Structure 1
Amino acid sequence: MNKITLLIVLAMGVNAFSQDTIMPLWPKDKIPNHVASLEKEEHVMEDILRISTVQEPTIEVYLPSKKNATGQAVVIFPGGGYRILAYDWEGTDIAKFLNSKGIAGIVVKYRLPSSVSQTHQEDVPLIDAQRALRLVRSKAEAFHIDPNKIGAMGFSAGGHLASTLGTHFEEKVYTPIDDVDTRSARPDFMVLCYPVITFGESSTHGGSQENLLTKDPKPGMVDRFSNEKQVSSNTPPTFLLHATDDKSVPVENSLVFYRALVKNNVPATMHIYPNGGHGFSLATKDKYLRGWTEQMFEWIESLE
């Protein structure tokens, strides 16, 4: 094989890998609740990458080396108030960090509620979340992961979506379209970081509620998506993280979910830090707060 041929082969291999790491959630032209419109997906890169008006949801897959792999995987839902996705800050950066511990990280670019390009917009994020979990489970062999060790992780409004998945995984919000949809959408565990949990209360995040349910929610929707009211004995074991001084999403959100988990005998742990505010991600510049990641890894290990 000469040098030119070798370079072509290597280039093809790199391209194939790149294409494999980002996968569409849905087959072309089969995206549930989608309506053709003039809306276009937008990517804005400033201090972080902000993605809005998602039209074609995807998963972006980050895998550790086979030698380091634990077999565990985490499906990650970035936050952004159901208005944008803080895609690297609470998505790809998290996936890469998980890889350092041998855990596969899969970032979901889920659709954000839209009255223009969707029907029943309140269901759309959950539709994509269920599909993402099922798709990852269907790829367990290819990703070298255990199909029974797949967690859901979310930040802020992404935490609301992850907790919605963990409490509504059996809810039929779309018509199955292929073999992927025969898999369970139940996460095996949840990691909820400064999550939005409750709606219709003084402690809720008004922007997340309005963006998901509109200013005039349909009857029953506030209770349906107040996830502390939807916890059952089959809700996955949960790790909760919050800061007491969070002014955007009050710590009461984690507290009410923790109490609901305990009431239903669901294994749960909660770490409340005195300071940190909202949206601190990995907290790499805070010598005290950044310890939350080790707490999480130890907890995940304890589940085995």
Structure 2
Amino acid sequence: MAVACILSTPAFAQKDKMQPVPIPAQPNAIELGTGPLPGATASESWHSQYGSLFARNVTVATLTPYLPDPAKATGAAVIVAPGGGFRTLSMENEGSDVARALAAKGVAAFVLKYRLNQTPADMPGFERSMAEMFSATAARPRMDPDKAIAGLAPQIADSRAAFTLVRKRAAEWHVDPDRIGMVGFSAGAMLTLATTLAGEDAKPAFIGLIYGPLAPVTVPAEAPPMFVALAADDPFFANSGFGLIDSWKTAKRPVEFHLYEKGGHGFGMYPKTTTSTGWFDAFARWLDMHGMLQPKR
């Protein structure tokens, strides 16, 4: 299924070697209570690549808070969903680095380490599986939203549990329960969109989709404001049209779309010479426009 075939890797460094690393200490990670991944046999492991840390074979979902200085806190919050093709998670470039940047703006951020499809335990086998996925994604980049939602049941359960947890502890974390949004990267962007379309109790106040699929969807009546960033040379999602943007516009829901000339796929918070590096500043300005960088009055 195409939902398992979305890679989040910087196009400028696709051949960088993966190096196994010990699982880092995660003292602030909170288990979400969605249970172990059904049928999982492999154990969670981590590796470094592109100067950044990645997790794979995640079987238990967690949420890690990155809280702003109370003097700067705006009350807004963001669930951050890293990408990695639902086989790995870019825990720094699309996780903690994003969360720290949001916290610096006064926004409480929470990195979601969601459960993943299992991959071979050995590094060579994992590398082969990622290479196969990379090739398959380039050939089949389009997403069927209905199939995506059906195929992401564990991950959507994790994202919904993340919203529930943040709302439950909103007073402790100085968060406004009605101002919790979500931003995702690549596969995380798909999860963000699927969480929004699935409805039920997550109901993000706003969403950010960074280099995710842009197939048209049926937009919920009360769909949240949406921010989208994509590079025109993205090998997966830049050549399949912009139906998602049209869907939001047709539904008369707020949408902002940044199409950068260059940047490839997976640029995240990596410093690059392309204008795609400016996506975060644009996202922050968009949040400010929607009143998320100021305390609610």
Regarding TM over 0.5, the answer is: yes
CA shift at 1:35, angstroms? 2.8
- AA aligned opposite 2:30: M
The Cα offsets for residues 197-243 of structure 1, whole Å up to 9 and x where unpaired, read as: 44xxxxxxxxxxxxxxxxxxxxxxxxxxxxx3232222211000001
Contact in 2 for aligned 1:89/1:281 (Cα 8 Å): yes
Matched, 1:88 2:92: yes
User: Where does residue 52 of structure 1 map in the other structure?
Assistant: 56
User: Where does residue 45 of structure 2 map in the other structure?
Assistant: 42
User: Where does residue 109 of structure 2 map in the other structure?
Assistant: 105
Question: Quick one: which of 221, 236, 243 aligns to 1:248?
Answer: 236
User: Where does residue 205 of structure 2 map in the other structure?
Assistant: 188
1:160/1:121 Cα in 2 relative to 1: closer, same or farther (>3 Å)? closer
User: Where does residue 246 of structure 2 map in the other structure?
Assistant: 259
User: Where does residue 273 of structure 1 map in the other structure?
Assistant: 260
Contact in 2 for aligned 1:57/1:111 (Cα 8 Å): yes
- AA aligned opposite 1:22: A
User: Where does residue 164 of structure 2 map in the other structure?
Assistant: 134
The Cα offsets for residues 184-209 of structure 1, whole Å up to 9 and x where unpaired, read as: 311000011001344xxxxxxxxxxx
1:159/1:87 Cα in 2 relative to 1: closer, same or farther (>3 Å)? same
User: Counterparts of 1:55 and 1:44 in 2: how far apart (Å)?
Assistant: 16
Which runs of 5 or more residues in structure 2 are unaligned?
Answer: 1-24, 121-149, 292-297
User: Counterparts of 2:175 and 2:95 in 1: how far apart (Å)?
Assistant: 19
The Cα offsets for residues 90-115 of structure 1, whole Å up to 9 and x where unpaired, read as: 00110011111111110000001359
CA shift at 1:252, angstroms? 3.6
Question: Quick one: which of 158, 169, 179 aligns to 2:188?
Answer: 158
The Cα offsets for residues 239-284 of structure 1, whole Å up to 9 and x where unpaired, read as: 000010111332546x211111111111111111111111111243
1:251/1:94 Cα in 2 relative to 1: closer, same or farther (>3 Å)? farther
- AA aligned opposite 2:227: F
Question: Quick one: which of 218, 221, 235 aligns to 1:233?
Answer: 221
User: Where does residue 62 of structure 1 map in the other structure?
Assistant: 66
CA shift at 1:153, angstroms? 0.3
Structure 2-normalised TM-score?
A: 0.74
CA shift at 1:37, angstroms? 4.2
CA shift at 1:20, angstroms? 6.8
User: Counterparts of 1:19 and 1:135 in 2: how far apart (Å)?
Assistant: 18
Identity %: 32
Query: How many pairs were matched up?
Result: 237
1:64/1:122 Cα in 2 relative to 1: closer, same or farther (>3 Å)? closer
RMSD: 2.3
1:103/1:61 Cα in 2 relative to 1: closer, same or farther (>3 Å)? same
The Cα offsets for residues 37-75 of structure 1, whole Å up to 9 and x where unpaired, read as: 432111112322111111111001100110011111110
User: Counterparts of 1:25 and 1:278 in 2: how far apart (Å)?
Assistant: 29
Contact in 1 for aligned 2:57/2:119 (Cα 8 Å): no
The Cα offsets for residues 148-192 of structure 1, whole Å up to 9 and x where unpaired, read as: 11110000111000011111132xxxxxxxxxxxxx311000011
Give runs of aligned pairs for residues 5-16 of structure 1, distance below 5 A. none
User: Counterparts of 1:233 and 1:244 in 2: how far apart (Å)?
Assistant: 30
SS at match of 1:108: strand
CA shift at 1:121, angstroms? 5.9
The Cα offsets for residues 117-154 of structure 1, whole Å up to 9 and x where unpaired, read as: xxx86311111111111111211111111111111000
Which runs of at least 4 in structure 1 moved beyond 4 Å after TM superposition?
none
Give runs of aligned pairs for residues 20-35 of structure 1, distance below 5 A. 21-26=28-33, 31=34, 34-35=37-38
User: Where does residue 155 of structure 2 map in the other structure?
Assistant: 125
User: Where does residue 8 of structure 1 map in the other structure?
Assistant: none
Query: Bigger CA drift: 276-285 or 123-132?
Result: 276-285
Contact in 1 for aligned 2:85/2:187 (Cα 8 Å): yes
User: Counterparts of 1:104 and 1:250 in 2: how far apart (Å)?
Assistant: 31
Structure 1-normalised TM-score?
A: 0.72
Larger radius of gyration: 1
Contact in 1 for aligned 2:44/2:57 (Cα 8 Å): yes
